[in-house]
Chain A
Amino acid sequence: MKDTNNIEPFEIIKKDNELTLKPLIPINVYYGDYYFEDIEKLDFENYSNIIVDLADVTEFDSFLIVFYNKLNKTAEGKNVKINYINASEEQNNLVNVLSKEQKEEKPNKQKKPFFYNYLENIGLKVKTMFSDMYVFIEFTGNLMIALFKFPFKIKELRIKDFAYYFNNAGVNAVPIVILIVFLLGLITGYQGALLLKQFGADRFIADLVGIVIARELGPLMTAILVAGRSGSAYAAEIGTMKVSEEIDALKTMGMDLYQFLIIPRVLAVTIAIPFITILADFAGIVGGLVAAMTALDMTFTGYSNELNRALNYSHLFSGLFKSIIFGFLVSSVGCFRGLQASGGAESVGRFTTAAVVTGVLLIILSDAVFTFLFQVLGI
């Protein structure tokens, strides 16, 4: 942009008690900083009068004010007077307009000490956490009411929306879910094979993979993937609608927000997720079969006979039951976080991330609760 070699920003003329500075290069944002070093080197205290001759300054911008300020500040307390001469009308205009304080109420943001800010932030975080919980409980309550009323208003369900979300959250998620759970079944199978081989318990690989996939990994991974795909998408969609005042428009039109926006999404995911989980369970078990056949030389018949013996309906249905709860949690959290967005794009992004994090957290928490409950109930 600029030649950095041998730039002399000023022509300096010293005469008795008078120092004349003639700027030679543009005083603008691109060249202005060259003046600063030279100004600092000037011995202002040896002069009573400094003349800044602006006659040759043909290129300038608002950096001119920064330049003036620097000279004035350097001269401060040195009993020296600075005179700016030959300033063009344009230069004076620029300084006058940009230095003029426009009428505006002053901001009332006050600077607070760091420690105060630190404590305030902790307080705000805790407050936000509790208010989030409160609002989520309120949202869940409203959603439950809307769901109970739903059978009586089933004609009001926007079938088109429901089909769209079912397709997006369900059908479109199948390939990635199958791939991930197949690989998980394969990995579990190989890891299990290493251990089981030592005890000569090769055939129990089918028990291990079958039960782990059907009860835990199948529903869990499906729900996590749905949280990443659909929970985040719902938060972003609804968040964008919120910041662009579409939600307000819906409200003023007297539309039921839950009926119109939330229920089609929540129902679509909650209904779709057990079907995906069944496919995921199947893919995981096939993954285990591949591991059993390659690592333990097991036959297909041997694996399937053992699986048939080990797996029962309680394993399958406990997994499917959990998946329905996970689907409900993931989709409702996505919608809830979307409704929390306000302001602009940054807020939408923040709440989209929050939707995934909260969704995954709730999945794991509820899984832990169910594992404990099923243990107690002997399921």
Chain B
Amino acid sequence: MIEEKKEISNLSNNNSNEIEDNSKASNTNSLSLKNSTNNEPIIQVKNLTVQYDDRVIIDNISFDIMRGEIFMIVGGSGCGKSTVLRQIIGLEIPIEGEILINGEDICKATGKDKVHILNKFGVLFQSSGLFASMTLAENIALKLETSTNLTNSQILELINIKLTSVGLAGYESFLPSEISGGMKKRAALARAMALDPPILCFDEPSSGLDPVTAATMDELIKELNSALGTTMVVVSHDLDGVINTAQRVIMLDKDAKGIIAEGAPKELKEMKENKKVYDFFNRIPTSI
């Protein structure tokens, strides 16, 4: 299917047709459910406790993630950032607490209900998680083929759109092993966006990337958020990325086993009353 000849059509190159940019008219339109940005929470984490064997990693934390915001979870190594993300995306079930995605508890959901909730997510894993034996196009097509009734040519067109949007046009037939680390991350983002989910989750999107590529990744997150209204949940300890990209941040701490600060990144950077937060955001080394 993937081998079919692609039809690359770019709207901006079509001179005979035009899209009328009518912002005034749009005020009268009802907005897409997905694209609305407001103060209602899309993810609610309530009294979450995570424990591995006898070791408590996260102890009774609660927070909300608002629809359409770029929300970041930060903290030092081993504080449980990725653990919290794994609970949110349903990979692990917490020992206590509930995680509501659009009002539905992912921790209790099973079978089709869980798949229904999971379709609201796109996840970009730290090591990209692309299927090594599949081309980039096949990686992206997988979800489209199983979740929609689209024809092969429509799927190919969507693949082309997704890859173009992440700067990988023309790489459809490449295997993950044939592209660089930064390109893998972007390809994984294109895969995560396959169904245009209302929530995109990123686990350390800039890890292993050079500063320029990392900054490009951050810009891509911001651009997609503002254009598509997608809620972005990002786990990161890349401070530049956090300060430039996040709208709201929670900071987790290994000793507290929970949240020690919450707010806009620039507020946390100035939070002198909390030494741990201040040190973290200002890169002040702690004595060993």
Q: Are A62 and B30 in contact (CB under 8 A)?
A: no
Stretch at the interface among A63-71, A291-299, A305-313: A63-71
In B122-150, which residues have CB < 8 Å from any A CB? 132-133, 144, 147-150
Q: Report the Cα distance A69→B161, complex, angstroms.
A: 11
CB of B23 closer than 8 Å to a CB of A: yes
Residues in A whose Cβ lies below 8 Å from that of B157: 65-66, 69
Residues in B whose Cβ lies below 8 Å from that of A59: 32-34
Residues in A whose Cβ lies below 8 Å from that of B263: none
Nearest-CB residue, chain A, relative to B229:
A90
Q: Are B167 and A72 in contact (CB under 8 A)?
A: no
Q: Are B149 and A87 in contact (CB under 8 A)?
A: no
Stretch at the interface among B14-22, B48-56, B59-67, B232-240: B14-22
Q: Report the Cα distance A271→B222, complex, angstroms.
A: 62
A57 to chain B, nearest CB (A): 8
Q: Are B161 and A343 in contact (CB under 8 A)?
A: no
Residues in A whose Cβ lies below 8 Å from that of B14: 72
Partner of B31, one of A61, A86, A90, A97: A90
Q: Are A107 and B174 in contact (CB under 8 A)?
A: yes
Q: Are B32 and A60 in contact (CB under 8 A)?
A: yes
Q: Are A99 and B10 in contact (CB under 8 A)?
A: yes
Nearest-CB residue, chain A, relative to B167:
A102
CB of A134 closer than 8 Å to a CB of B: no
Residues in A whose Cβ lies below 8 Å from that of B171: 107
Q: Which of B18, B29, B157 has most chain A Cβ within 10 Å?
A: B29
CB of A340 closer than 8 Å to a CB of B: no
In A52-89, which residues have CB < 8 Å from any B CB? 54-63, 65-66, 68-69, 71-73, 75-76, 81-89
Q: Are A28 and B196 in contact (CB under 8 A)?
A: yes
A60 to chain B, nearest CB (A): 6
Q: Are B22 and A29 in contact (CB under 8 A)?
A: no
Q: Are A72 and B174 in contact (CB under 8 A)?
A: no
Q: Interface residue tally of chain B, by bracket?
A: 35 or more
Q: Are A85 and B20 in contact (CB under 8 A)?
A: yes
Nearest-CB residue, chain B, relative to A79:
B16
In A27-41, which residues have CB < 8 Å from any B CB? 28-30, 32-33, 36
B17 to chain A, nearest CB (A): 4
Q: Are B33 and A109 in contact (CB under 8 A)?
A: no
Partner of A95, one of B11, B22, B226: B11
B225 to chain A, nearest CB (A): 10
Residues in B whose Cβ lies below 8 Å from that of A100: 12, 164-165
CB of B83 closer than 8 Å to a CB of A: no
CB of A144 closer than 8 Å to a CB of B: no
Cβ contacts A107-119/B at 8 Å (1 or 0 each) = 1010000000000
Q: Are A84 and B20 in contact (CB under 8 A)?
A: yes
Partner of A99, one of B12, B29, B32: B12
Total residue contacts A-B, CB cutoff 8 A: 172
Q: Are B164 and A68 in contact (CB under 8 A)?
A: no
Given A90-B35, A94-B227, A94-B228, answer yes or no on A33-B149 (Cβ-Cβ < 8 Å): yes
Q: Are A58 and B227 in contact (CB under 8 A)?
A: no
In A5-28, which residues have CB < 8 Å from any B CB? 28
Stretch at the interface among A262-270, A324-332, A344-352: A344-352
Residues in B whose Cβ lies below 8 Å from that of A72: 9, 11, 14, 16-17
Q: Report the Cα distance A76→B11, complex, angstroms.
A: 13
Q: Are A346 and B132 in contact (CB under 8 A)?
A: yes
In B187-228, which residues have CB < 8 Å from any A CB? 193, 195-196, 220, 223-224, 226-228
Q: Are B196 and A61 in contact (CB under 8 A)?
A: yes
CB of B261 closer than 8 Å to a CB of A: no
Q: Are B20 and A99 in contact (CB under 8 A)?
A: no
Q: Which of A36, A107, A346 has most chain B Cβ within 10 Å?
A: A107
Q: Are A29 and B19 in contact (CB under 8 A)?
A: no
Residues in A whose Cβ lies below 8 Å from that of B94: none
CB of A3 closer than 8 Å to a CB of B: no
Q: Interface residue tally of chain A, by bracket?
A: 35 or more
In B170-187, which residues have CB < 8 Å from any A CB? 170-171, 173-174, 176-177, 183
Partner of B19, one of A28, A57, A92: A92
B163 to chain A, nearest CB (A): 10
Q: Are A85 and B227 in contact (CB under 8 A)?
A: no
Q: Report the Cα distance A60→B30, complex, angstroms.
A: 12
Nearest-CB residue, chain B, relative to A93:
B227
Partner of B195, one of A29, A69, A87, A343: A29
Q: Are B25 and A85 in contact (CB under 8 A)?
A: yes
Q: Are A99 and B11 in contact (CB under 8 A)?
A: yes
Q: Are B164 and A87 in contact (CB under 8 A)?
A: no
Q: Are B25 and A90 in contact (CB under 8 A)?
A: no
CB of A98 closer than 8 Å to a CB of B: yes
Q: Report the Cα distance A75→B9, complex, angstroms.
A: 13
Given A85-B20, A346-B132, answer yes or no on A32-B35 (Cβ-Cβ < 8 Å): no
CB of B109 closer than 8 Å to a CB of A: no
Q: Are A89 and B26 in contact (CB under 8 A)?
A: yes
A55 to chain B, nearest CB (A): 6
Residues in A whose Cβ lies below 8 Å from that of B150: 29, 32-33
Q: Are B29 and A86 in contact (CB under 8 A)?
A: yes
Nearest-CB residue, chain B, relative to A77:
B16
Q: Are B169 and A104 in contact (CB under 8 A)?
A: yes
Q: Are A75 and B148 in contact (CB under 8 A)?
A: no
Q: A68-B11, A84-B19, A102-B166 are in contact. List 8 more A-B contacts (CB 8 A).
A: A54-B29, A60-B32, A62-B158, A65-B161, A86-B29, A93-B228, A99-B12, A106-B170
B interface with A by C-beta (< 8 Å):
7, 9-12, 14, 16-23, 25-26, 28-35, 132-133, 144, 147-151, 154, 157-158, 161-162, 164-171, 173-174, 176-177, 183, 193, 195-196, 220, 223-224, 226-229
6 contacts between A and B (CB under 8 A): A30-B149, A58-B32, A59-B33, A82-B17, A90-B35, A96-B227
A interface with B by C-beta (< 8 Å):
1, 28-30, 32-33, 36, 54-63, 65-66, 68-69, 71-73, 75-76, 81-104, 106-107, 109, 343-347
